[in-house]
């Protein structure tokens, strides 16, 4: 079974600086999707970025980018120019071809002014 591991329960970053959240996963599949979700205190899950495993190019969405290392099964999220509104729980997730989803346990990001 696929597993997703986020080894950093909590992270903090100074406003305007850069922070990287780590995620590793375990799978025997070659085709899958990876996601980063943001969860503010409202509990709503907001998609931050997604990556298709067959794409070598790292996905980028404005200040958010990933470092996808397929061989190492690593999928880290980099947040540049951190803003106060970035403070939230961040979940890494894996979706297999048959739509099974697995979530990491989350990383709580604090942004210091």
Partner 1 sequence: AAGVIQSPRHLIKEKRETATLKCYPIPRHDTVYWYQQGPGQDPQFLISFYEKMQSDKGSIPDRFSAQQFSDYHSELNMSSLELGDSALYFCASSLGPRGTRYEQYFGPGTRLTVT
Interface residues with partner 1 (CB under 8 A) are: 1, 6, 9-10, 37, 39, 42-47, 89, 91, 99-103, 105-106, 108
**Beta carbons of 90 and 107 less than 8 angstroms apart:** yes
Cβ closest to partner 1, residue 73 vs residue 104 = 104
Cβ closest to partner 1, residue 31 vs residue 81 = 31
Nearest-approach distance from CB 87 to partner 1, in angstroms: 12
Nearest-approach distance from CB 77 to partner 1, in angstroms: 16
Q: Which residues pair with 73 in a beta bridge?
A: none
Nearest-approach distance from CB 106 to partner 1, in angstroms: 5
* Four-CA torsion 45, 22, 94, 69, nearest 10 degrees: 140
Q: Which helix (H) or strand (E) holds 66?
A: strand 64-69
Nearest-approach distance from CB 66 to partner 1, in angstroms: 17
Ordered DSSP codes for 26-47: E-S-SSEEEEEEEE-TT---EE
Cβ closest to partner 1, residue 42 vs residue 57 = 42
């Amino acid at each position: 079974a696929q597993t997703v591991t986020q080894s950093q329960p909590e992270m903090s970053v100074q406003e305007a600086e850069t922070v990287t959240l780590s995620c590793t996963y375990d799978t025997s599949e070659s085709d899958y999707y990876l996601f980063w979700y943001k969860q503010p205190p409202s509990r709503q899950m907001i998609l931050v970025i997604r990556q298709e495993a067959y794409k070598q190019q790292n996905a980028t969405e404005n200040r958010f980018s990933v470092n996808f290392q397929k061989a190492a099964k690593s999928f880290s999220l980099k947040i540049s120019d951190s803003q106060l509104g970035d403070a939230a729980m961040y979940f890494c997730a894996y979706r297999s071809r048959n739509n099974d989803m697995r979530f990491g346990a989350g990383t709580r990001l604090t942004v210091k002014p």
